[in-house]
A and B are shown apart, each in its own frame.
Chain A
Amino acid sequence: MSALAHVPTSSGQAAAPPPRRGRHTALPYLLLLPGAAWLLVFFALPLLQLAAASLYDPGGSLSTGYAMTWAVGNYPEALQAYWPQFVRSFLYSAIALVLALLMGYPLAYAIAQKAGRWKNLLLVAVVAPMFTSFLVRTLAWKTILSDNGWVVGLLRDVHLLGPDGRLLATPVAVVLGLTYNFLPFLVLPLYASLERLDPRLLEAASDLYASPLRAFQKVTLPLSMPGLIAGTLLFFIPATGDYINAELLGTPNQYMIGNVIDSAFLVRLDYPQGAALSFLLMAAILAIVFVYLRKAGTEEVL
Chain B
Amino acid sequence: MRRWLADRWVMGAALLVLGYLSLPILVVAGLSFNRPSSRLSYDFNEFTLDNWTQPCATSDMCDAVIRSMEIGLIATVVSTILGTLMAFALVRHGFRGRAGINGLIFLPMATPELVMGTSLLALFVAAGVPQGFWTIVIAHVMFCVSFVVVTVKARLAGMDRRLEEAAMDLYASEWQTFRRITLPLVLPGIVAAALLAFSLSFDDFIITNFNAGTTVTFPMYVWGAAQRGIPPQVNVIGTAMFVIALLLVGASSLRGRRARRAALAAPVAPRPSAMSGS
Interface residue B116 (Cβ < 8 Å from any Cβ of A): yes
- Cβ–Cβ < 8 Å partners of A47 in chain B: 115, 119
* B7-46 near A? 1/0 per residue, CB < 8 Å: 1001101100110111111011001000000000011100
Bound Cα distance A136, B238 (Å)? 7
Interface-forming stretch among A70-78, A80-88, A221-229, A239-247? Answer: A239-247
Q: How many residues of B contact A (CB 8 A)?
A: 97
Query: Does B72 sit at the interface, judged by CB under 8 A?
Result: no
- Interface assignment of B245: CB less than 8 Å from any CB of chain A: yes
B133 contacts partner chain A, Cβ-Cβ < 8 Å: no
Interface size class of A (residues with CB under 8 A): 35 or more
Contacts of B146 in A (CB 8 A): 3, 39
**A128 with B246, Cβ < 8 A, contacts A142-B42, A248-B226 known:** yes
Residue among A103, A136, A148, A289 making CB contact with B234, cutoff 8 Å: A136
B93, B109, B158: which contacts A27 (Cβ < 8 A)?
Answer: B93
Q: Which residues of B contact A125 (CB under 8 A)?
A: 18, 21-22
A223–B207 CA distance with the chains assembled, in angstroms: 36
CB distance from A45 to the nearest CB of B (A): 6
Q: Which residue of A lies closest to B256 (CB)?
A: A120
**Which A224-281 residues sit within 8 Å CB-CB of chain B?**
233, 237-238, 240-244, 247-248, 258, 261-262, 265-266, 271, 274-275, 278-279, 281
Q: Would B20 and A46 count as touching, CB distance under 8 A?
A: no
Given the known A-B contacts A32-B89, A143-B42, are A241 and B112 also in contact in the complex, defined by CB atoms under 8 Å? yes
Q: A107 to B145, alpha carbons, bound, how many Å?
A: 31
Q: Contact at A137–B28, with CB atoms within 8 Å?
A: yes
B153 to chain A, nearest CB (A): 5
B125 part of interface (Cβ distance < 8 Å): yes
Q: How far is the CA of A149 from the CA of B151 in the complex (A)?
A: 41
Please report the C-alpha to C-alpha distance between residue A40 and residue B105 in the assembled complex, in whole angstroms.
10
Asked if A20 lies at the interface with its beta carbon under 8 angstroms from chain B, I say yes
Shortest CB-to-CB span from A48 to chain B, Å, is 8
Name the A residues within 8 Å of B7 (CB-CB): 114
Does A291 sit at the interface, judged by CB under 8 A?
Answer: no
B94 contacts chain A at the CB level, 8 A cutoff? yes
* Minimum distance in angstroms from A151 CB to a CB of chain B: 10
Contact of A292 with B by CB under 8 A: no
Which stretch in B80-88, B175-183, B258-266 binds the other chain? B80-88
Q: Which of B6, B17, B119 contacts A212 (CB 8 A)?
A: B6
A36 touches B43 (CB 8 A): no
* Most B Cβ at <10 Å: residue of A24, A46, A233, A282: A46
Are B109 and A4 in contact, with the CB atoms below 8 A? yes
Residue among B118, B142, B149, B235 having the largest count of chain A Cβ atoms under 10 Å: B118
**CB of A230 to closest CB in B, whole Å:** 11
A158 at the binding interface (Cβ < 8 Å): no
Residues of B within 8 A of A (CB): 2, 6-7, 10-11, 13-14, 17-18, 20-25, 27-28, 31, 42-44, 81-83, 85-86, 88-95, 101-102, 104-116, 118-123, 125-126, 138-139, 141-142, 145-147, 149-151, 153-154, 156-158, 161, 196, 199, 203, 205-206, 209-210, 218-219, 222-223, 226, 230, 234-235, 237-239, 241-242, 245-246, 249, 253
22 A-B pairs, CB-CB below 8 angstroms? Answer: A4-B109, A7-B106, A28-B89, A28-B94, A32-B85, A34-B82, A35-B145, A36-B104, A43-B108, A43-B111, A124-B246, A126-B21, A128-B22, A129-B24, A132-B239, A135-B219, A139-B222, A144-B24, A144-B27, A265-B118, A271-B122, A281-B112
List 13 additional A-B contacts (Cβ < 8 Å) besides A43-B104, A279-B115. A17-B94, A32-B86, A46-B116, A49-B119, A49-B123, A107-B14, A114-B7, A131-B245, A131-B246, A133-B203, A258-B206, A271-B122, A285-B112
